[in-house]
C-alpha cells in the first residue's frame, strides 16, 4: 500500500518537473524572440522606458481639452455629413453587388460549382484581404480626390465583409426546402427567390445593418488619403500640429461611431 | 368553390404591408438623396477625364514583379508588429476584462462603467487615429505602431473575455472561494480554466485581424509595409504600389486561412 502511494507521488513529481521544465524553455524562447524583435524592428529601448511620461504630457498638455469650436465650423460639419452619406451609399451599392455574389459563393445552392463558385469565392477572399485604405489610395490616383473614390473603396470593403457572412448564412440553410422547390420543376432563380432568400432574409438584414456600421467606421478615416469626408481635416490639423482641433474631430468620430453602433444594435434587435 | 387566389393571406396583415412599404420608401428616398449628393454634386466629373485615361492610370498599377523581393522584409516586419501588438493587448486586456465583467468586478458602480468605457473607447476608434496619437508622442517607427495595435485590439479581447466570464459556471468559482483564495487566485484557478479555449480562439482571431491592421499603420508613420507603400505612392511608382498591395493581400489571406483552421481545431 505504502509503496503504491510513493509510486504515485513520484510520478506526480516527475510530471510537475517535466511541465515546469517545458514552461521554462517556453519562457526562454519567448524572451529570446522578444530581444530578436527589438533588434529587427530597431525599437529604441530608452524611448520605451520614458514612454509613459511622454504620453502623459502629450495627452494632458497638447490633446486636452479638445477645441470643439473647430468641429462646429460649417465646412467641417459638411465634411461630417459627407462622411455619413459616403458610408450609406457605399454600403448600399456594395450590398447590391454582394447579394448575387453571396449566392454564387454558397457551395450548396450555387448555380455553377465549376465556374461561378470559385470566381466569386476568389473575389470575396481578395477584397477581404486587400486593405481598404490602400485601395482608397489607388482609387484616388485613378478617379481623383473626392467622395466618389471613397465610396468605391467602401463598396470593395462591403463585398469583402458582407460577402463572407452572407455566403455563410446561405450555406447554413435547411436544404429540404430547396429540394421541395426543386421538385416542383423550379429553375435556379426560382430556388433562390422561394427557398433561399426567405430563409436567410432576416439574418441578411442584420448583416446589412452591421455592415453599414462597419463602413461608417471605415469612412471616418478615408479622408486621410483624400477620398472624401472628415479625415481630410483630421490630417490637415495634425500636419500643422494643431492637436487640440484635431482632437475635436477625433471626439466627433468617436461620438458618431458609438451612436451608429447603438443605432445598428437597436435596429437589429427590433428586427429579430 | 372559391378561387384560391382571392383568399387573403392571413400572414399578410394590411397594416404590416403598409408599414413595410413605408420603410422601403423612406430607405429609397434616403439612398437617392445621398446618391445625388455624392455622385452628382460632390464629384467633379469634368476633371476626372475620360474612361480611357482612367483605364490607363489603372493599368499603371499592374504589379511590377521584380520589386517583390524587396517587399519581403517589410512584410515580415508587419507580421512582427501585429504579433507584438496582440501580445501586449492580451496582457492589458486581462485586468480590463476583470473590471468589465459584471459578476466579479470589485466595485460595481465605479469599476464596471470604467471597464466598459475603456472597451467602447478602444473599439470605436480606428487604429489610424491611435497610431497618429502615438506617433506624435513617440516619433516614427514600429513602436507607436505596436502600441496603436495593442490599444485598438484590447477592447475586443476585453469585451469577449468579460462576456465569457459572465457566462462562466459559478460552481468552480465558489469552490475556489470556499478554500479562502484571494480574488487573483479565483481568477487564475476558478475562471481562467473555464474560459481558456474561447480566449485562445479570440486571441488568434485578433492576431489575424491585426495583420490586416498593421499593414496600413505605416501610412501615418507606424512602421511596416505601409511606410513603403506611402513612399512608392509619393514617388508615383504605381507598379511597385501594385506589388505591395498584392503582397499584403496574399499575406492576409494566408493568415486568415491558418487562423480559421486553428480555431476550428480548437473548438
Nearest to B216 by CA among A39, A130, A146, A254: A130
Look at chain A and report how many structural domains it folds into: 2
B266 has a chain A CB within 8 A of its CB: no
Task: List all residues of chain B from 152 to 211 with a beta carbon under 8 Å from chain A.
Answer: none
| pTM attached to this predicted model | 0.83
Whether A197 is in a domain gets the answer yes
Name every chain B residue with its beta carbon within 8 A of the beta carbon of A29.
none
Task: List all residues of chain A from 57 to 116 with a beta carbon under 8 Å from chain B.
Answer: 58, 62-63, 82, 85-86, 88-89, 92
Distance from CA of A8 to the nearest CA of B (A): 24
A53 and A117, same domain (yes or no): no
pLDDT of residue A56 exceeding 80, the answer is no
> How much is the average pLDDT of B151-158?
90
Task: List all residues of chain A from 151 to 170 with a beta carbon under 8 Å from chain B.
Answer: 151
What domain range includes position A117? Answer: 68-271
User: What confidence score (pLDDT) does residue B12 get?
Assistant: 63
User: What confidence score (pLDDT) does residue A153 get?
Assistant: 92
Nearest CA in chain A to B28: A92
DSSP per-residue codes, A130-182: S-HHHHHHHHHHHH-SSHHHHHHHHHHHHHHHHHHHHHHHHHTS-HHHHHHHH
Percent of chain A with pLDDT over 70: 99
Distance CA B225, CA B248 (A): 8
pLDDT of residue A3 exceeding 80, the answer is no
A34 and A128, same domain (yes or no): no
Q: How confident is the model at residue A95 (pLDDT cuts 50, 70, 90)?
A: very high
Name every chain A residue with its beta carbon within 8 A of the beta carbon of B54.
142-143
The per-residue pLDDT for range A116-170, each reduced to its tens digit, is 899 999 999 999 888 888 889 888 888 888 888 888 999 999 999 999 999 989 9
Domain positions in chain B: 4-60, 65-266
The per-residue pLDDT for range B76-122, each reduced to its tens digit, is 889 988 999 999 999 999 888 888 888 877 788 888 888 888 888 88
* Interface contact flag, B43 A142, Cβ < 8 Å: no
- Residue A6 neighbours by CB under 8 Å, 6+ apart: none
B266 φ, ψ (degrees, to nearest 5): -65, -40
* Interface contact flag, A143 B129, Cβ < 8 Å: no
CATH topology for B65-266 is: MetI-like fold (1.10.3720)
Q: How confident is the model at residue B11 (pLDDT cuts 50, 70, 90)?
A: low
Q: How confident is the model at residue B39 (pLDDT cuts 50, 70, 90)?
A: confident
Whether A63 is in a domain gets the answer no
User: What confidence score (pLDDT) does residue B50 get?
Assistant: 74
- Chain pair A-B, CB pairs under 8 angstroms: 156
A52 and A125, same domain (yes or no): no
The per-residue pLDDT for range A25-47, each reduced to its tens digit, is 999 998 888 888 887 777 777 77
Report the CATH number that the domain containing residue A263 is assigned in CATH. 1.10.3720.10
A147 and A228, same domain (yes or no): yes
Looking at every residue in chain B, the average pLDDT score rounds to 83
Amino acid at each position: 500500500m505504502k509503496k503504491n502511494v510513493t509510486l504515485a507521488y513520484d510520478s506526480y513529481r516527475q510530471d510537475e518537473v517535466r511541465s515546469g521544465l517545458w514552461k521554462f524553455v517556453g519562457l526562454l524562447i519567448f524572451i529570446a524572440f522578444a530581444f530578436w524583435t527589438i533588434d529587427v524592428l530597431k525599437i529604441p529601448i530608452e524611448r520605451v522606458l520614458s514612454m509613459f511620461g511622454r504620453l502623459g504630457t502629450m495627452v494632458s498638455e497638447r490633446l486636452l481639452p479638445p477645441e470643439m469650436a473647430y468641429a462646429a465650423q460649417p465646412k467641417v460639419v459638411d465634411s461630417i455629413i459627407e462622411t455619413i452619406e459616403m458610408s450609406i451609399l457605399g454600403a448600399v451599392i456594395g450590398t447590391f453587388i454582394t447579394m448575387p455574389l453571396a449566392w454564387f459563393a454558397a457551395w450548396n445552392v450555387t448555380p455553377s460549382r465549376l465556374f461561378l463558385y470559385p470566381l466569386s469565392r476568389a473575389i470575396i477572399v481578395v477584397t477581404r484581404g486587400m486593405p481598404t485604405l490602400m485601395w482608397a489610395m489607388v482609387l484616388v490616383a485613378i478617379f481623383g480626390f473626392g467622395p466618389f473614390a471613397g465610396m468605391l473603396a467602401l463598396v470593395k470593403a462591403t463585398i469583402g465583409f458582407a460577402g463572407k457572412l452572407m455566403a455563410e448564412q446561405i450555406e447554413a440553410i435547411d436544404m429540404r426546402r430547396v429540394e421541395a422547390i426543386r421538385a416542383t420543376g423550379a429553375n435556379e432563380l426560382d430556388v433562390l427567390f422561394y427557398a433561399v432568400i426567405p430563409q436567410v432574409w432576416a439574418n441578411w438584414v442584420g448583416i446589412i445593418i452591421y455592415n453599414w456600421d462597419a463602413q461608417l467606421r471605415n469612412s471616418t478615416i478615408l479622408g486621410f488619403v483624400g477620398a472624401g469626408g472628415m479625415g481630410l481635416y483630421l490630417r490637415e490639423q495634425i500636419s500643422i500640429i494643431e492637436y487640440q482641433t484635431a482632437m475635436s474631430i477625433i471626439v466627433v468620430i468617436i461620438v458618431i461611431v458609438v451612436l451608429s453602433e447603438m443605432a445598428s444594435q437597436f435596429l437589429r434587435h427590433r428586427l429579430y | 368553390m372559391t378561387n384560391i387566389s382571392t383568399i387573403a393571406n392571413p400572414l399578410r396583415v394590411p397594416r404590416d404591408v403598409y408599414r413595410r412599404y413605408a420603410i422601403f420608401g423612406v430607405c429609397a428616398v434616403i439612398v437617392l438623396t445621398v446618391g445625388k449628393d455624392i455622385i452628382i454634386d460632390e464629384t467633379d466629373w469634368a476633371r476626372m477625364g475620360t474612361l480611357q485615361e482612367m483605364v490607363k492610370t489603372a493599368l499603371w498599377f499592374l504589379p511590377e514583379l521584380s520589386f517583390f523581393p524587396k517587399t519581403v522584409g517589410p512584410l515580415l516586419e508587419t507580421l512582427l508588429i501585429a504579433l507584438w501588438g496582440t501580445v501586449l493587448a492580451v496582457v492589458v486586456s486581462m485586468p480590463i476584462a476583470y473590471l468589465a465583467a459584471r459578476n466579479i468586478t470589485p466595485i460595481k458602480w465605479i469599476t464596471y462603467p470604467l471597464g466598459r468605457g475603456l472597451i467602447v473607447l478602444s473599439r470605436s476608434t480606428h487604429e489610424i487615429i491611435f497610431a497618429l496619437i502615438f506617433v506624435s508622442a513617440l516619433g516614427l517607427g514600429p513602436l507607436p505602431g505596436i502600441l496603436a495595435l495593442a490599444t485598438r485590439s484590447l477592447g475586443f479581447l476585453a469585451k469577449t473575455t468579460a462576456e465569457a466570464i459572465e457566462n462562466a459556471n459559478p460552481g468552480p468559482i465558489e469552490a475556489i472561494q470556499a478554500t479562502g483564495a484571494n480574488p487573483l487566485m479565483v481568477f487564475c484557478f476558478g475562471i481562467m480554466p473555464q474560459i481558456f479555449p474561447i480566449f485562445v480562439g479570440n486571441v488568434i482571431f485578433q492576431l489575424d485581424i491585426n495583420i490586416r491592421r498593421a499593414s496600413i499603420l505605416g501610412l501615418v508613420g507606424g512602421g511596416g509595409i505601409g511606410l513603403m507603400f506611402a513612399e512608392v505612392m509619393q514617388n508615383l511608382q504605381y507598379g511597385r504600389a501594385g506589388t505591395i498591395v498584392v503582397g499584403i493581400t496574399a499575406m492576409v489571406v494566408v493568415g486568415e486561412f491558418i487562423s480559421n483552421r486553428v480555431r476550428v481545431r480548437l473548438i
